[in-house]
């Protein structure tokens, strides 16, 4: 199976102007320039999703999967694979069950009704987790406020405030760097699996 699209398919499925024009510029070998409308370019030759991933980014390449119903199984299994990369962080069995059912559905081993039920249960798990996180955040904010007030009172006449501000900024910068590194690694892993899928070498192809 070839993972390729045409410009016509991209337009028919409502590709965003920005992403579409990036592909056109790639085909023309010119530098991308932002525009508000589709660039005029007649091209009937198929375009590899791998090329789109390398040129536009993984988000646009994943979006292209909607252009061909024949890719439905691969699209679902790729989505499950991505979710399983953080499965170790899932604490609610409903979320894990949703992945199992989605995988079975993609392989023709679960019904539409079973998929819908698992999806509803997973949404309920997300809502429960969000509510719990919100409660924790409120408690943490109250606790942080109390600690901050105590610290402020203890050093009202001190000159530590400037140093605290510098340290806080440094910590925030370090945290951003760590988060950026983690996200970059995740995106790279996702892209590599996407390329494997397009080459027929994904885990579910074996």
**What are the residue boundaries of the structural domains of the chain, listed by start?**
4-67, 73-154, 168-206
Predicted confidence (pLDDT) at residue 24 exceeds the cutoff of 80: yes
Q: Which two tokens stand for residue 6?
A: 């045409």
Q: How high does pLDDT run on average in the chain?
A: 85
Give the pLDDT score at 180: 76
Task: Say if pTM beats, i.e. exceeds, 0.85.
Answer: no
Mean pLDDT of the region 59-63: 96
Predicted confidence (pLDDT) at residue 20 exceeds the cutoff of 50: yes
* Residue bearing tokens 């199984």: 73
pLDDT in tens, 107-163: 999 999 999 999 999 889 888 878 877 766 665 655 655 455 445 444 444 455 555
How would you label 3-42 residue by residue, b for 16+ Cβ within 10 Å and e otherwise?
Answer: bbbebebbeeeebeeebbbbbbbbbeeeebeeeeeebeee
Give the pLDDT score at 9: 95
pLDDT in tens, 63-99: 999 999 999 999 999 999 999 998 998 889 999 999 9
Give the pLDDT score at 139: 59
């Amino acid at each position: 199976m070839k993972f390729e699209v045409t410009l016509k398919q991209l337009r028919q499925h409502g590709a965003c102007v920005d992403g579409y024009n990036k592909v056109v510029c790639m085909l023309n070998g010119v530098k991308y320039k932002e525009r508000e409308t589709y660039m005029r370019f007649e091209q009937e030759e198929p375009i590899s999703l791998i090329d789109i991933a390398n040129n536009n980014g993984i988000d646009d390449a994943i979006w292209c999967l909607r252009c061909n119903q024949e890719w439905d199984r691969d699209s679902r299994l790729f989505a499950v694979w991505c979710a399983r990369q953080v499965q170790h962080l899932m604490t609610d069995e409903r979320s894990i069950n949703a992945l199992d059912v989605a995988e079975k559905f993609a392989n023709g081993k679960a019904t539409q009704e079973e998929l819908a039920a698992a999806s509803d249960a997973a949404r309920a798990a997300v809502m429960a987790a969000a509510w719990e996180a919100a409660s924790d955040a409120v408690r943490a904010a109250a606790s942080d406020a109390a600690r901050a007030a105590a610290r402020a009172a203890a050093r009202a006449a001190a000159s530590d405030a400037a140093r605290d501000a510098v340290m806080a900024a440094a910590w925030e910068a370090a945290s951003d760097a760590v988060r950026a590194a983690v996200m970059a690694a995740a995106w790279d892993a996702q892209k590599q699996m996407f390329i494997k899928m397009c080459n027929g070498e994904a885990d579910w192809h074996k």
